[in-house]
Amino acid sequence: MDTQTKDLTILTGDRPTGPLHLGHLVGSLEARVRLQHRHRQFVLIADAQALTDNVADPGKIGRNILELMADYLAIGIDPNKTAICLQSEIPALAEIAFYLLNLVTVARLERNPTVREEIRDRGFERNIPAGFLAYPVSQAADITAFDAALVPVGADQLPVIEQAQEIVRRCNALFGETLTMPEAIISDTPRLVGIDGAGKMSKSAGNAIALSIEADALVEAVNRMYTDPGHIRVSDPGRVEGNVVFAYLDAFDPDKEEVARLMAHYRAGGLGDVALKRRLAGILEELLAPIRERRRRFASDPAQLLAILKAGTEKANGIASRTALRLRRNMGLGFSML
């Protein structure tokens, strides 16, 4: 697809359940900042989706909404270019989701590999909230409500987008061209590993570096990073594969030639973890210091954050309610049929 086309709409979303971290930055936030100059963009704060696995603690969701706004603005999402909106304040999303639920089977929902993995991670076992199992349908409603053609997501969300595509195909086959077919854009940067080296960076695994991290906590996090347990003395040869410090230098050090030199030196022996970690901490501090500063300014004015969110949500309500009306009409529901 020609991703240069100006009139395409892009939608991305986040569940407001914790601070954004470096994994989000390289995985999707940088793409959003780039894409907002070329396309119409909505960023959805998916508080209703977050409820599907946090129903016993909705306060956590509410507390994270303006925090997420501050993160977005601090990394360069420009509210004049991107409409930031709040899912629960867009009733058409719930309406569309309710209709789309009839276009999927429970068996198909249970087969979604992303949802299966998340069910396992959350330990739901046989007590899966119906809303959680069906969240891909709600997400299909989000995507189609905005007429989104492009959805930049991490590779783990691909099965959710595929499910949205199936729903759109079925809907349009039954009711005529009603919903826009979405396409996923998968980031070509590999998933950033967590500081423990055990898996991808995630807030739930406790291995993340938040974009809002303070300078001293950042140094501590870098010092805790998993390296090569066999690299005991500086003179020992060290392993670069699976070494978190090198994974981060790869992702964040602008001087790739120097990284290649450091890798060779580390492998040969004679380069210590302490020196490497000092370099990485400096690079990350340079990246995060301006974000932290901008974030502090935005977070100090919650009224402004709320005003931005309300303006974006109003814009979202316009387009989502038009989609809901079109769907209702084409399905043959409502007064228009009488």
* Interacting residue with ligand TRP among 9, 10, 13, 238 (CB under 6 A): 13
Pick the binder of ligand TRP from 14, 47, 53, 147 (CB under 6 A).
14
The Cα–Cα gap between 311 and 60 comes to 23
Nearest residue (CB) to ligand TRP, 142 versus 147: 142
Instruction: Give the integer Cα–Cα distance in Å for 323 and 319.
Output: 6
Q: How many residues form the binding site for ligand TRP (CB under 6 A)?
A: 14
Closer to ligand TRP by CB, 142 or 228: give it.
142
Residue whose C-alpha is closest to residue 184's, from 140, 118, 138: 140
Supply the angle between the helices 135-145 and 91-100 in degrees, to the nearest 10.
120
Closest to 151 in 3D by CA, of 46, 79, 306: 46
Among 8, 10, 15, 47, interactor with ligand TRP by CB under 6 A: 15
State which of positions 251-310 bind ligand TRP (CB under 6 A): none
Stretch that binds ligand TRP, among 13-21, 102-110, 224-232, 250-258 (CB under 6 A): 13-21
Kindly state the tokens that stand for 178.
């009603």
**Contact partners, residue 112, CB within 8 Å, separation at least 6:** 136, 159, 160, 163
Question: Which tokens sit at 192?
Answer: 């950033």
| Residue where the block lists tokens 């359940």 | 17
Amino acid of residue 324: A
Choose, by CB under 6 A, the member of 53, 67, 71, 142 that binds ligand TRP. Answer: 142
Contact 100/323 with Cβ under 8 angstroms?
Answer: no
- Binding to ligand TRP by residue 151, rule CB under 6 A? yes
One-letter amino acid of 300: S
Cα–Cα distance measured from residue 150 to residue 268, given in angstroms and rounded to the nearest whole number: 45
Q: Which stretch binds ligand TRP (CB under 6 A): 150-158, 165-173, 256-264, 280-288?
A: 150-158
Which of 36, 49, 82, 88: binder of ligand TRP (CB under 6 A)?
A: 49
Smallest gap from residue 76 Cβ to ligand TRP (A): 19
Interaction between residue 249 and ligand TRP (CB under 6 A) = no
**Rounded to whole angstroms, how far apart are CA atoms 338 and 300?**
53
Binder among 93, 96, 153, 240 for ligand TRP (CB under 6 A): 153
Tell which one of 8, 9, 10, 12 touches ligand TRP (CB under 6 A): 12
27 interacts with ligand TRP by CB under 6 A = no
**Which residue ranges make up the site for ligand TRP (CB under 6 A)?**
11-15, 44, 46, 49, 139, 142-143, 151, 153, 157
